[in-house]
Amino acid sequence: MTRSNNARLAGFTFLFYIAVGITQMVLSSGTGAEGTAAKLALIAQHALQVRVNVILSLLTCVTALALAVALYGLTRDEDRDLAMLALSFRIGEGLLGAIAPIASLGLLWLATNGAGLGAPDAAATNALGSLLLKVRGWNTNISATLFALGSTIFCWLLLRGRMIPVPLAWLGVAASVLLVVGLPMELAGFLAGPATQLMWIPMAAFEVPLGVWLLIKGARAPLLPHATASTEQSTAG
User: For residue 33, what pLDDT is reported?
Assistant: 65
State how far the Cα of 164 lies from the Cα of 158, in Å rounded to an integer.
6
User: For residue 31, what pLDDT is reported?
Assistant: 57
User: For residue 139, what pLDDT is reported?
Assistant: 92
Contact between 143 and 93 under an 8 Å Cβ cutoff? The reply is yes
User: For residue 40, what pLDDT is reported?
Assistant: 87
pLDDT in tens, the chain (237 residues): 889 999 999 999 999 999 998 998 888 765 566 778 888 888 888 889 999 999 999 999 999 999 999 999 999 999 999 999 999 999 999 999 889 899 999 999 888 875 555 566 778 888 888 999 999 999 999 999 999 999 999 999 999 999 999 999 999 999 999 999 999 999 999 999 999 999 999 999 999 999 999 999 999 988 765 544 444 444 334
State how far the Cα of 94 lies from the Cα of 188, in Å rounded to an integer.
22
User: For residue 123, what pLDDT is reported?
Assistant: 81
User: For residue 231, what pLDDT is reported?
Assistant: 40
**Nearest to 150, CA basis, from 80, 72, 66:** 72
Q: What is the pTM of this model?
A: 0.86
Contact between 71 and 11 under an 8 Å Cβ cutoff? The reply is no
Contact between 20 and 61 under an 8 Å Cβ cutoff? The reply is no
Q: Residue 197: exposed, middle, or buried by beta-carbon count in 10 A (0-12, 13-18, 19+)?
A: exposed
Q: Where are the domains of the chain?
A: 3-236
